[in-house]
Amino acid sequence: MERRLAAILAADVVGYARLMEEDEAGTLERLRHHRERVIEPKVAQYHGRIVKLMGDGLLIEFGSVVEAVAFAVEVQIATKLQNSDAPARSQLVFRMGINLGDVILQDQDIFGDGVNVAARLETLAKPGGICLSRAARDQVQDKLDLDLDDLGEIEVKNITRPVRVFSVVINDKAEALATPVIMRSGKPHRWSKLGLAIGLALAIPLVAALLWWRLDSEPLEVASVSHMAFPLPDRPSIAVLPFDDYSKEAAQAHIADGMTEAIISTLARIPDLFVIARNSSFTYKGQAVKVQRVAEELGVRYVLEGSIQQANQELRITVQLIDALTGHHLWSETYDRDYDDLFDVQDEIALRTAVALQVKLTTGEEARVLSRTTDNLRAWTFYQQALSNFFKFTAESIRTARVLAQKALMEDPDFADAMVIVGFTHLVDARSGYSESAQDSLEAAIDFADRAQALAPDAPNLYNLLQSIYRYQRRFDDAIAAGERAIELSPNSAISLLATAMTTNLAGQFDRSVELAQKAIRQNPHSRSTGYIWLGRSLWFNKQYDDAIAAATEGLKRAESPRVAAVHSLNLALVYIETGDVEKAKQAVAEALEKVPTLSISRFKSGFDYKKSSDWARFESALRSAGLPE
């Protein structure tokens, strides 16, 4: 591990998201021109090295603080001159921070407190300004004729001690340092990353990342559209693979899964993307799987993969977005952050991915997409563990999920998503007979749903809970409205799609149920077979018998338990009895009873309570004719 003393400059573009939203092409052209005509020549003149993109800015390393400050002053003055002929709302403005500190060099990247302080100084600078640490000030005060304002000791995020901050005054003395721009011959330095600012309203097209990243590298083995298991969607499609966990402590392993889940959930809220569901993505967990295989099996073009390593409070997160059809990396980044910055990194990865896929979000859309119902990391950790247990769907795992979600609420009593999980566990108790009083459990579920709704009325999972409660109460119109709201808030959520497919089936809206079940299955190709239950059942009600047989047959192949397999067998029996093949119908019922001997018409009625008596009558008659016991 190589260490060295370096002058570090961090910079970002002020108001970049607004600039891109108002004039994307013009902003990119101004940035390109500024980069080629000012920044790159000045980096070369002052012997700097562009290291990488740090979140929403650029990181440059210099061997001398004097050269770093001279570079910063020159760029700020040149930028001010260029802005003199531009309308105020389209002007490019930079913030810069400079520190002298010890850094760790690894794979041409630099890490350490020296870098962190520079990044914090940049945030303290005014638009068009430059902030220096005391160490940097000490190196230039007798070497550069500049006026400096002493801003005093300032507490900055994730730095244990206050930082003494000095601001460079851009006046006549500063302007006297300006020198002519000397254009370099030969291949220009590839530095298009400066324009990629990730903030409150991020937007930049895919081409910017492609022009910068690995244009001369060997591409990966590419996927073939003809070999894909599903047709590519008509919008950018992506799978987020489970992040590899390199932490030494087993107790920290859930962080990688939680980050993956959070990124998937965030992307799933963007209507212009097609995002593979968590369950299918997690089938690749722990596998050294090729991107080509993932893309072809899931029917997506883009794959996001990464890793996370935690040591005490420090995180190293690496991530890369790959175009499986070309084998090229759209972008790649390493984040060295404090654990307290985990949410910020998750948001940045999700936003930067959306941007690379050329999805534009308005400020309001972005705020909704990034919304979460807690900022407490301990609460979030318990919640992620609760989710993992809940989706195992066993009596023991449901109880464990409730305990963990309640721990999350002890950390953050206003954590709405944790309330939703607790509500779901009570509803499962009511429906499955796990509690002594189904009514008490139902009332508990309603109470947690009401509390969550008061705190976070736009949380997608809240509406899945409300949908389940209303369906249990036979309030089908309310249940459908809640389900459609959940889909509206998170269009890529296979859970919402499947839950609403069930609701619309029981309500007699079979066309809508077929549509939603098909979407849920496509969103979650490696899912459990539940989607095929509702797809097959709705196709049967629509008398689309061949398709209903195909759905039930596929469901049997995927069935995760004897009970689920038995339901698919009964779906086959429904088709056979109505198409006149009584022998096959009775055989299907016999196979179902072999799997679950306690199956009966009365048990079915308690589980599948149809809104219309005529729908139930047809269902009941077919099962009875096929030989299912009363």
Find tokens 């990688």 and name the residue: 256
Contacts of 384 (CB under 8 A, 6+ apart): 254, 257, 258, 261
What pTM value is reported for the model?
0.65
CA 352 to chain centre: 10
Digit-coded pLDDT (tens) for 17-39: 778 778 877 887 788 778 778 88
Return the minimum-mean-pLDDT range out of 132-136, 288-292, 475-479, 503-507. Answer: 288-292
Identify the band that residue 344 occupies on the pLDDT scale cut at 50, 70 and 90.
confident
| Burial class of residue 231 (count of CB atoms within 10 Å of its CB; 0-12, 13-18, 19+) | exposed
CA–CA separation, 87 and 85 (whole Å): 7
pLDDT at 208: 35
pLDDT at 54: 52
Contacts of 402 (CB under 8 A, 6+ apart): 386, 421, 422, 425, 426
CA–CA separation, 446 and 467 (whole Å): 11
Domains 2-195 and 528-630 share a fold: no
Taking a C-beta distance cutoff of 8 angstroms, is the pair 431, 419 a contact? no
Find tokens 């001010």 and name the residue: 80
* Angle at 569 (CA atoms; ends 572, 625), nearest 5 degrees: 60
Residue 72 has pLDDT above 60, yes or no: yes
CA–CA separation, 181 and 384 (whole Å): 53
Domain at 528-630: CATH code: 1.25.40.10
Residue 204 has pLDDT above 80, yes or no: no
Highest mean pLDDT out of 43-47, 217-221, 271-275: 271-275
CA–CA separation, 507 and 538 (whole Å): 11
Contacts of 167 (CB under 8 A, 6+ apart): 125, 126, 129, 130, 131, 132, 148, 149, 151
What would the DSSP string read from start to end of 439-480?
HHHHHHHHHHHHHHHHH-TT-HHHHHHHHHHHHHTT-HHHHH
Residue 398 has pLDDT above 60, yes or no: yes
Residue 591 has pLDDT above 60, yes or no: yes
Average pLDDT of the chain to the nearest whole number: 84
Structure tokens at 146: 């500049």
pLDDT at 538: 95
Higher pLDDT, 462 or 335: 462
pLDDT at 180: 67
Return the minimum-mean-pLDDT range out of 118-127, 235-244, 291-300, 309-318. Answer: 309-318
Identify the band that residue 192 occupies on the pLDDT scale cut at 50, 70 and 90.
very low
pLDDT at 396: 87
Identify the band that residue 357 occupies on the pLDDT scale cut at 50, 70 and 90.
confident
Taking a C-beta distance cutoff of 8 angstroms, is the pair 76, 112 a contact? no
Residue 499, amino acid: A
Digit-coded pLDDT (tens) for 271-288: 889 999 988 999 898 887
pLDDT at 434: 72
Residue 207 has pLDDT above 70, yes or no: no
pLDDT at 523: 92
pLDDT at 522: 93
Residue 519 has pLDDT above 50, yes or no: yes
pLDDT at 98: 95
Taking a C-beta distance cutoff of 8 angstroms, is the pair 464, 240 a contact? no
Average pLDDT over residues 426-446: 88
CA–CA separation, 57 and 194 (whole Å): 6
Taking a C-beta distance cutoff of 8 angstroms, is the pair 49, 61 a contact? yes
Percentage with pLDDT > 90 across the chain: 41
pLDDT at 202: 35
* Per-domain residue ranges of the chain: 2-195, 206-367, 528-630
User: Which superfamily, per CATH, for 206-367?
Assistant: TolB, N-terminal domain (3.40.50.10070)
If you classify domain 2-195 with CATH, what class do you get?
alpha beta
Digit-coded pLDDT (tens) for 526-585: 877 889 999 999 999 999 999 999 999 999 998 888 888 999 999 999 999 999 999 999
The β-bridge relationship of strands 130-133 and 109-111 is: unpaired
Residue 197 has pLDDT above 60, yes or no: no
pLDDT at 312: 73
Contacts of 125 (CB under 8 A, 6+ apart): 95, 96, 97, 131, 167
Average pLDDT over residues 491-516: 94
